[in-house]
Chains A and B, each alone.
Chain A
Amino acid sequence: MNWITQPWPWCIAGPLIGLMVPALLLLGNKPFGISSSLRHICAVCVPARIPFFNYDWKRESWNLFFVAGVILGGFIAAYYMQGADPVKINPQTTALLKQEGVKDFSTLVPTDIFSLDALATLRGLIFVVLGGFMVGFGTRYADGCTSGHSIMGISTLQWPSMVATCCFMIGGFAMTWFILPYLIKL
């Protein structure tokens, strides 16, 4: 198996992601987390005298370098490591999604839903804009995302992170099972 061009199995990728926790602590006592970067971007660009965005963001600038690295890593993997190839998901999921109206299965995301052209449609606005808004609002309200709570928080045995992670999953299941089928049909 060629590890550069083939997708990585969970038993390789999961432990590597777990190692980000000690790596960032060793590199300078940084807690693994991504969503704080969204707050720092607000603090840098549009603090607008909101107390929540008026703090010394320069002390947290490592986090902005970290997410800039994630963008760069995404570029390297997609363009030089065949990372954007079609995803071999469970055929049952494919069948279900086709039935609900998803058409494009040729890359990482269904481009019939996620594209700049689709932004002119109600469905596109909901998936691209409203979804993003909920991710940004929700992660900050919850004080962390999948990396900060589910991985960093649970690894360090913090029960509020366990509560947050359970709520992430409840929200995700509720959306997928009860609401998303109607949104895809829009």
Chain B
Amino acid sequence: MDLFDKYALVAGRHGKLLQAGADPFAVRLDDLSSATEARVNGRETILLGTNNYLGLTFDPACLAAAEAAIRDYGTGTTGSRIANGTYGLHRELEAEIARFLGRRSAMIFPTGYQANLGMLAGLAGPRDVILLDADSHSSIYDGCRLSGATLIRFRHNDPEDLDRRLGRLQDQGECKLIVVEGIYSMLGDRAPLVEFAEVKRRHGAYLLVDEAHSLGVLGASGRGAAEEQGIEADVDCVVGTFSKSLGAVGGFGASDHPKFDTLRFCSRPYMFTASSSPSSVASVLAAFGQIRRRPELRQRIWDNAQALYDGLSAAGFEICAKVSPIIAVRLPDERSAVLAWNRLLAHGVYVNLALPPGTPNGMCLLRCSVSAAHTPSQIEEVCRRFEMVAAELAGAPTGAVSRAARG
């Protein structure tokens, strides 16, 4: 018996993927010339799968802030927040996040993944019940498991199912915590937060909303899905990430709860990891400034999303949800999805290949994410190359893949 025998099935599947072309798990990006262009596996490529929603990774103000922070504070903190890893910058960013969201307090984490781990494992304990949306991100599942709470899944975006389950569970657990996301990462669909908030109130539960894909994208001020749907007062805790619209790396949790800062010495994923590097913290501070000062970025991303949605729909591709900065193109099966992904890469378009079990309902997806930094001509070019791939698939000898581009 070998330690790696348990991965034989998944390793076999990975081997099959490699036979079809490039390795989707080992795409190499070099020479990023902007937020939307890079050399990928040696070829000039338009990036359409980076979650860089506002295109701030090369924003001059963010770059300047990061450079200054490296000079002033060094390359890393070499310590955890509870030891030597809390700099003035970390405190400044936490205050800025709290101000931006209109919350009493915020705490930051080195990655978005750790933000969910730290928040969920900190908020819930073995005597509590967490009710999580079935399509939740892996970081939510892992954070829930780490909490030791009783974990109940409810059907994706289904407040009635949540309501039924809370009804059945009314005598169980000390506290109930409901966990949903603003925009779901795979399909780009949004949570019906008004209905979830109503269920939460009826059952006296707490509500946590992960705004990873909606911060900076939804809401009049960019505060996310809860702002857009007017239910911020019902949200007890917000989680977010810096590695999407804010163009860096890290994550945060925020709340109005008067005891929220207790998590600083009770949440293990917060306590026992090195704190964020100064350059990352500084660029995120600058990025919040850009979100405040440049609402046109949000307009641009929605214009681009609409243009891509229209272009791909016109080309006959099936898109899984309404217009959003995540546009998930559904292919009929794994084989055609892998082939289409490889052909797009060969034509200089990078998207995410998303396959089961990482996708809901066994779907095979070409997951695109648009950026405010995409130009209209880039979006047009991407649509043109998708059409080329559709034609190639239609002419593929197997015939089966032609359904990929059925109009």
A and B associate: no
Q: Report which A residues bind B (CB closer than 8 A).
A: none
